[in-house]
Amino acid sequence: MKTRLLTISLLLTAAFGAAAGECYSRLSGDTLKMGNSRIERVYLWNDGHLITCRVTDKLSGKSWTSSAGNADFVVNRAVPSGGKIRVEEVAGDGIRPDRLVTTVSYRLGDLEVERSYRLYEGVPAIAVDTRLRGTLSGVAEKEVSEADRSNIEHSGDMKLKPVTAVLDRLALPGQHWHGRAVEFRDITDWNNNLVDERDFISYRKTNYRGNILTVTDGDNGGGFVFLKEAPCSGVQLAYKGGDFISDFGSFMVTGLGVDDKDVGPEKWTSTYGSVLCTFGEDELSALSALRAYQKQCRVLDPGRDEMVMMNTWGDRSQDAKVNEAFCLAELDKAALLGITLFQIDDGWQAGKSPNSASAGGSFKDIYANASYWTPDPEKYPRGLKPIVDRGRELGIKIGLWFNPSVQNDFADWEKDAATIIGLWKDYGIRMFKIDGLTVSSKSGEENLRKLFDRVLAGTDNEVMFNLDATASRRGGYHFFNEYGNIFLENRYTDWGNYYPYWTLRNLWMLSRYVPAERLQIEFLNKWRNEAKYEGDVFAPSRYDFSYVFAVTMAGQPLAWMEASNLPEEAFGIRPLIEAYRSVQHDFHRGTILPVGDEPSGRSWTGFQSLLPDGEGYLLIYREDNQQSVGAIDTWFADGCEVELTPVIGNGVKQTLRAGRNGSIEIAIDKPNDFVMYRYKEKH
């Protein structure tokens, strides 16, 4: 990664300034200012232990002045000393874009602290990554239960007590702050309701769970969003029961993700990250600010990140079928569908996993078997080369399943990295599904990150990871985002737990807060196991196969099936997949947000992709209802005139005027059908 050191200041008696493009970081006397064209945050230097004085949303001109003198980062009560600052212009590397990084370092007694603040051009966000070295103590305290607090008559007990660990904070004047805390769930083998929203008016000290906290100024409008870059609340390390604290106008991001035992003098240890986004108007501006930052976490490269993938595990043959002949036959069928990436799941390797159809597999001591991660010589006597070569002839890339060595907190990460790099060198494999993770300690998290970083460095950033979110303690939706996309869920007709509207609902719910283009969304062989859905009005077989595919289009479509099991009529969706592929990247480069009603099997619902200059896409679904015309609330401004041009599905070119809540009327002739429009706002 190429960096350019702009400024180093060790003795902070003189002013200095540094900038990269429109991003800047300037220290003058005891005041540090960071910002760009969209945001500015002003701090009191405090010997490096920064205290926010003011935050400004430059697009709207709204500014909020801090009402307290507490440091933004709190981990002990020591007096700060030895503050230093350096500023680097970090060039993009194809994974992460250009950015300006300001690193502030100082001491809090026996603890060294480094806080690196990231700024991106045109993005109303400042992200901070924190590292600790030395002695950490006291972070294991638990928050007081509401039931154990004194009543309001005991005013002394109502005062805000010091918080053990705070990643970031804003303390603002006023009584009229409205919040929304959003908690997420992965472990999707067990969870089918993945987003919980809790709205509140900030009052006395209250804990909230979640990765996202949106706070709106009830007096003047606008506000800010805190994003906690961490796994889902239920699986975080060293979790104390909450992620945010509100107390009237004081808002804090809590939970470091480390305990005393995780931090020592021999090395730097990273905490979870925190991001502050500002917005000046309504919910759309808040979500757009958040998404603008999220899109900086990984550059969406059309040749690497866009795909229509096939993985045969969805037909439940496990590893019983996979071999050279099977894969070659599947590739030919996949090409008839329009698939761009064929992923061989568990079973390609000589070693046997616990998920194998044959008994005796294990993930323990993988490297005791030196041949574990070589292609099974019985299934693939010529290695994977014939598969890769045939895929290249058909225009289909090949991906593989991989389970890092689980013992001792991924202690064999270097061997895992060498294995993946070797498969990239030998066969050109650029996509690896990462499964079987249990990240139960800080050292395990660190080793896993070392594995991913080593692979990126050793493959010129060509390899990407498909991170399974179906079980155990993993990264969730806001952690490890720079490494690839998310394999969201296992659903099977064999168990009767696959419904197209369930899949659509999970994508729709997540898309408000998570980039949809980072989620891999499944469609299955709707003709399998029809008897298991007998009498079910939402049975997969009741939908056209084109619709089954269409519910995945806001994400990265995953054909979770064996193509050889499909009836001939299934291959009739190839023109649809080709049409989708022609607009896939343009659709995904926008800010994709949900529109209409929550999918229920009976709703009018969909997505809007907002591109610059008043352009974008509308993807609308008419579920199984009797209304041939649906009123869809969108993100258009009230009264906006919009020209719609059909791209996919049965639509007609038309011009509409949006009503209240951006409502427009869309006609779709039959139930369980869809249409995608390209739109342009008329002025």
**Which residues are within 8 A (CB) of 457 and not within 5 positions of it... i.e. 6 or more apart?**
none
CA–CA separation, 585 vs 589, rounded Å? Answer: 6
286 HSE (CA, 13 A, CB side): 20
For the cut 70, the answer to whether the pLDDT of residue 17 exceeds it is: no
For the cut 50, the answer to whether the pLDDT of residue 451 exceeds it is: yes
For the cut 70, the answer to whether the pLDDT of residue 152 exceeds it is: no
324-337 vs 574-588: helix crossing angle, rounded to 10 = 80
- Tell the burial category of 517 from Cβ atoms under 10 Å away from its Cβ (0-12, 13-18, 19+): buried
Please report the beta strands in 347-482, taking only residues with DSSP state E, as ranges in sequence order.
397-402, 431-434, 464-468
Amino acid at 327: C
Give the chain's mean pLDDT: 94
For the cut 60, the answer to whether the pLDDT of residue 2 exceeds it is: no
Band (pLDDT 50/70/90 cuts) for residue 356 is confident
The 3-class secondary structure across 483-508, one letter per residue, is: HEEEECCCCCHHHCCCCHHHHHHHHH
Amino acid at 475: G
Q: Which has the closest alpha carbon to 212: 253, 169, 240, 247?
A: 253
For the cut 70, the answer to whether the pLDDT of residue 8 exceeds it is: no
CA–CA separation, 156 vs 125, rounded Å? Answer: 37
Q: Are 198 and 180 in contact (CB under 8 A)?
A: yes
3-state secondary structure of 145: coil
**pLDDT reported for residue 362:** 78
**pLDDT reported for residue 140:** 47
Mean pLDDT of 281-290: 97
How many of the other CB atoms lie within 10 Å of CB of 273?
Answer: 21
Q: Are 123 and 40 in contact (CB under 8 A)?
A: no
Mean pLDDT of 640-653: 96
pLDDT in tens, 82-132: 999 999 999 999 999 999 999 999 999 999 999 999 999 999 999 999 999
Mean pLDDT of 618-624: 98
Amino acid at 67: S
- Chain centroid to Cα 536, Å, comes to 33
Q: Which has the closest alpha carbon to 523: 551, 497, 496, 563?
A: 551
Q: Are 116 and 215 in contact (CB under 8 A)?
A: no
**pLDDT reported for residue 59:** 97
Helix-then-strand count for the chain, H and E: 10, 37
Q: How, if at all, do strands 397-402 and 341-344 pair?
A: parallel
pLDDT in tens, 453-468: 999 999 999 999 999 9
For the cut 90, the answer to whether the pLDDT of residue 11 exceeds it is: no
Band (pLDDT 50/70/90 cuts) for residue 68 is confident
Mean pLDDT of 140-163: 46
3-state secondary structure of 93: coil
pLDDT in tens, 571-608: 999 999 999 999 999 999 999 999 999 999 999 999 99
Q: For the chain, give the percent of residues with pLDDT over 70.
A: 93
**pLDDT reported for residue 16:** 53
Q: What's the token pair of residue 416?
A: 């895992």
End-to-end, the C-alpha distance of the chain in Å comes to 44
Q: What value, to the nearest 5°, has the Cα angle with vertex 86 and ends 100 and 452?
A: 60
**pLDDT reported for residue 13:** 35
- Chain centroid to Cα 499, Å, comes to 24
Q: DSSP code of 74? A: B
Q: Are 581 and 562 in contact (CB under 8 A)?
A: no
Band (pLDDT 50/70/90 cuts) for residue 14 is very low
Judged by phi (left if over 0) then psi (alpha if -120 to 50, else beta), residue 662 lies in left
For the cut 70, the answer to whether the pLDDT of residue 151 exceeds it is: no
For the cut 50, the answer to whether the pLDDT of residue 676 exceeds it is: yes
For the cut 60, the answer to whether the pLDDT of residue 146 exceeds it is: no
Position of tokens 């659903």? Answer: 491
Q: Are 325 and 292 in contact (CB under 8 A)?
A: no
Position of tokens 């060293």? Answer: 238
For the cut 70, the answer to whether the pLDDT of residue 264 exceeds it is: yes
**pLDDT reported for residue 21:** 86
Which residues is 657 bridged to in the sheet? Answer: 641
CA–CA separation, 432 vs 302, rounded Å? Answer: 17
Q: What's the token pair of residue 530?
A: 């029809």
How many of the other CB atoms lie within 10 Å of CB of 579?
Answer: 15
Position of tokens 């209304």? Answer: 627
pLDDT in tens, 239-255: 999 999 999 999 999 99
- Residue 617: which H helix or E strand, with range? strand 615-622
**pLDDT reported for residue 88:** 97
**pLDDT reported for residue 4:** 57
How many of the other CB atoms lie within 10 Å of CB of 317?
Answer: 16
Judged by phi (left if over 0) then psi (alpha if -120 to 50, else beta), residue 165 lies in beta
pTM above 0.75, yes or no: yes
CA–CA separation, 169 vs 314, rounded Å? Answer: 45
**pLDDT reported for residue 9:** 42
pLDDT in tens, 311-353: 999 999 999 999 999 999 999 999 999 999 999 999 999 999 8
Band (pLDDT 50/70/90 cuts) for residue 354 is confident
Q: Are 83 and 106 in contact (CB under 8 A)?
A: yes
Backbone dihedral angles phi then psi of residue 80, each to the nearest 5 degrees:
-70, 150
Mean pLDDT of 413-421: 98
Q: For the chain, give the percent of residues with pLDDT over 90.
A: 89
State the greatest distance between any 2 C-alpha atoms of the chain, in Å, as a whole number. Answer: 79
pLDDT in tens, 503-533: 999 999 999 999 999 999 999 999 999 999 9
